[in-house]
Amino acid sequence: MTHSELLPRPPSPLVEAADDRFERYGVRLLLKRDDLVHPELPGNKWRKLAPNLRAALEGGHDQLVTFGGAYSNHLRATAAAGRLLGLRTVGIVRGDELAGRPLNESLARCAAEGMRLHFVSRSEYRRKAEPHRLARLVDAAGAAGAYVVPEGGSNALALGGCAELGRELRGAADVVAVACGTGGTLAGLAAGLGPGQRALGVPVLAGGFLAAEIRSLQAAAFGGPAGDWTLAEDFHHGGYARVPAALEAFAADFGSRHGLPVERIYVAKLLWALTELTASGAFPPGTTLAAVVTGRP
């Protein structure tokens, strides 16, 4: 992967998904296959990381440091990007109790990509938004001087990358829906959509903290609110990385119907939410929905 490969890529495919669970309510479903936008950094990971990687390279940095939990897709994507670009990577991982245990599959993948993992207590991790705490965390991880990518990759640069996703969907759908972790993808997506379009976020974590976070991200990136967006809460299925049997069965069925490899932590929850919302009459007949497929299993 060279610096030139971080330049904007062609729009990802937008495909029709004929599905009677939507059609019987007069709703049309499209899939924005952003999982195909980059072979190793799919979907919103590429959208958010690419602008930050460009900034790191242009700033002469040879090391990236970022943050995530034990099952973080963002940590894996950052580790892969570092390997591809020849940048050293450090992952500050939530949960010091993990330090003495065998690595799970997700963290083992990060390590295999060359990422050095540094485990911190949950209380320490929660305070990383405080500038002096952040500096101490980065120093303690042996990453002083590294380019800092925030948790989930969500910052002002990332929102600019996600706004491009919205621009690709202008005029294509009435409602564009995306699963949300830290809120950066939704915040940028909403800003890029055109008049009369709405972005719908489906949080995959419990807690109800996301609306304030999205407003804060938009203020940092755009100077204030941007675009029309709403959240559909209560589809997190018990919290991040929780995939109960009913959701697993739904994802497997959706995948077989549409020939789509359905990622379980984000994409399955998004598609489940849209199916449930459609059945409850949340979308008037004649609505075109676009679901952003942000990653793959």
Residue positions annotated with a catalytic role: 72
Let me know: does 161 contact 137? Beta carbons within 8 Å.
Answer: no
Cα–Cα distance for residue pair 176/192, rounded to 1 Å: 11
Buried residues in 238-250 as b, exposed as e (16+ CB within 10 A):
eebeeeeeebeeb
Cα–Cα distance for residue pair 2/42, rounded to 1 Å: 17
Angle separating helix axes 156-168 and 43-58, nearest 10 degrees: 130
Cα–Cα distance for residue pair 16/216, rounded to 1 Å: 34
Q: Distances in Å between the alpha carbon of 281 and those of 23, 203, 284? A: 12, 20, 7
Q: Distances in Å between the alpha carbon of 45 and those of 8, 23, 87, 143? A: 14, 31, 17, 22
Q: Please list the residues that pair with 290 across neighbouring strands.
A: 30, 176
Show the tokens assigned to 196.
């009369």
Let me know: does 16 contact 30? Beta carbons within 8 Å.
Answer: yes
Length of the chain: 297
